């Protein structure tokens, strides 16, 4: 039998990307990824009371193919993450904040830890480090105001002092014999660095001594110098401040290029946050047509950050009843959007920024079930 000729018909096959199935071979080692995340926004920027960084770690080595972004890690969000087979969850709010005394199935936060470890999923939280970062949550929130200049309300300080120690002690010594005695004595004190240089005061040669020391060493230095009235009466003690970091810190004080009515600002904020409603407290003597030029804002809960700031408007997620009353009594309008509504939209920008920084080596996806727990009904 003669075989009949076979026609080959070319077909175009479309590959549809699914966030659940990951066919990419790209991945990053967890430790390398954490280093990149810290380069994006150093955890040293976080508030001292916060609990940031890697909160749950699967046994090493652990590779990450898919990074999952969420504002809050609830059990519903965890179920979504497991269905999408993610390897690391970046939860803006830390699901573990207060210490856990046991890991059982009793409470929802304990169950999160159990399910993460059982499925080899890491959990990382940046929280206030992202609040303070120049490209972080508060800067994103300010984008919804219109064209403006902004500065942090509470600037961050560099994590380390530019020189060793927290204090500087300066005094002068007249004769060489005293100089040798003093330098020999202070060098025996731990955490003290010594420098000296010659000076002339009232036609008298002197040696100026500078000591950089820690808080603990300072007390020992003072105790030594107080033994000599000649040294102690001419001693200067300076407190060394860590330098401020530009464009970095909690909250933002924003000055619009052109003032707008409060009604216009409300619509801008609702559009930026994709909200149909916000809560408004009118300042005393203000109306919806009152001009807004200066806005003080803080994502999340802004009472302590915004307190005492001079502005036409406070913008935040939530404030206490009495803090709202205080602001309104000063003629300051207050807009409250619910806590996480002032944060969640940042995650879309974060996905793009991390994708570029990581050169798209891993998949980065947003939670579809994460939402603020409060609704207007």
Are residues 235 and 249 located together in one domain of the fold? no
| Domain assignment present for 7 | no
Which of 222, 239, 256 is the endpoint of a domain? Answer: 239
334 part of a folded domain: yes
pLDDT over 50 (residue 14): no
Domain enclosing residue 83, as ranges: 28-126
Q: Tell me which of 239, 258, 279 is where a domain ends.
A: 239
Q: How far apart are CA 347 and CA 331, in angstroms?
A: 33
Q: Which of 33, 124, 37, 20 is nearest to 73 (CA)?
A: 124
Average pLDDT over residues 287-292: 98
| 257 known member of a binding site | no
DSSP class per residue in 141-197: HHGGG-SEEEE-SEEEE-SS-SSSSSEEEEEEE-SHHHHHHHHHHHTTSTTEEEEEE
Residues 294, 145, single domain; the answer is: yes
Residue 204, domain member (yes or no): yes
pLDDT-derived band at 177, boundaries 50, 70, 90: low
CATH number at residue 114: 3.40.1390.30
Examine the fold and report which residue of 201, 223, 239 is the final residue of a domain before the chain moves on.
239
For 103, the 3-state DSSP assignment is: coil
* Residues 140 and 255 both lie in one domain: yes
- The total number of structural domains in the chain stands at 3
Do 232 and 250 lie in one domain? The reply is no
Check whether 131 is labelled as a binding-site residue.
yes
Q: Which helix (H) or strand (E) holds 328?
A: helix 321-329
Look at residues 319, 242, 330 and name the one whose alpha carbon lies nearest to residue 280.
319
Same-domain status, 40 and 76:
yes
Specify whether 38 is located in the same domain as 152.
no
317-364 pLDDT per residue, tens: 999 999 999 999 999 999 999 999 999 999 999 999 999 999 999 999
CA distance 152 to 248: 6
Q: Answer for the pair 318, 342: CB distance below 8 angstroms, yes or no.
A: no
The angle subtended at Cα 313 by Cα 310 and Cα 317, nearest 5°, is 115
Residue 39 shares a structural domain with residue 138:
no
| 3 state SS of 65 | coil
pTM: 0.83
We report the CATH number of the domain holding residue 193 as 3.30.70.120
Question: pLDDT confidence of 25, banded at 50, 70, 90?
Answer: low
Is the same domain home to 255 and 325? Answer: yes
pLDDT tens, 202-231?
777 888 899 999 999 999 999 998 888 777
And the tokens for 286? 């203000």
């Amino acid at each position: 039998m003669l075989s009949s000729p076979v026609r080959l018909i070319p077909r175009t096959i479309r590959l549809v990307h699914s966030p659940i199935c990951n066919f990419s071979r790209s991945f990053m080692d967890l430790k390398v990824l954490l280093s990149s995340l810290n380069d994006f926004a150093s955890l040293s920027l976080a508030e001292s009371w916060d609990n940031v960084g890697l909160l749950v770690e699967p046994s090493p080595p652990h590779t990450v193919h898919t990074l999952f972004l969420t504002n809050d890690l609830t059990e519903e969000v965890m179920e979504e993450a497991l269905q999408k087979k993610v390897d690391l969850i970046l939860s803006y709010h830390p699901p573990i904040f207060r210490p856990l005394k046991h890991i059982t199935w009793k409470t929802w936060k304990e169950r999160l830890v159990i399910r993460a470890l059982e499925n080899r999923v890491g959990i990382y939280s940046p929280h206030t480090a992202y609040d303070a970062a120049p490209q972080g949550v508060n800067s994103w929130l300010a984008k919804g105001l219109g064209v403006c200049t902004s500065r942090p309300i509470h600037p961050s300080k560099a994590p380390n002092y530019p020189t060793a120690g927290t204090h500087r002690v300066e005094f002068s010594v007249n004769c060489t014999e005293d100089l040798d005695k003093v330098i020999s004595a202070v060098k025996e004190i731990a955490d003290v660095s010594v420098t000296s240089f010659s000076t002339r005061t009232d036609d008298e040669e002197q040696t100026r001594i500078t000591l950089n020391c820690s808080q603990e060493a300072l007390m020992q230095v003072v105790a030594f110098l107080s033994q000599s009235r000649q040294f102690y009466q001419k001693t200067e003690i300076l407190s060394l401040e860590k330098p401020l970091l530009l464009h970095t810190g909690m909250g933002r004080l924003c000055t619009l290029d052109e003032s707008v009515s409060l009604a216009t600002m409300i619509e801008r904020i609702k559009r930026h946050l994709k909200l149909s409603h916000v809560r408004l407290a009118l300042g005393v003597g203000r109306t919806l047509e009152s001009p807004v030029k200066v806005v003080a804002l803080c994502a999340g809960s802004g009472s302590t950050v915004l307190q005492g700031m001079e502005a036409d408007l406070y913008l935040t997620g939530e404030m206490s009843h009495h803090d709202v009353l205080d602001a309104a009594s000063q003629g300051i309008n207050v807009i409250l959007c619910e806590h996480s509504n002032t944060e969640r939209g940042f995650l879309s920008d974060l996905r793009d920024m991390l994708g570029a920084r990581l050169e798209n080596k891993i998949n980065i996806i947003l939670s579809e079930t994460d939402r603020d727990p409060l609704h207007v009904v």
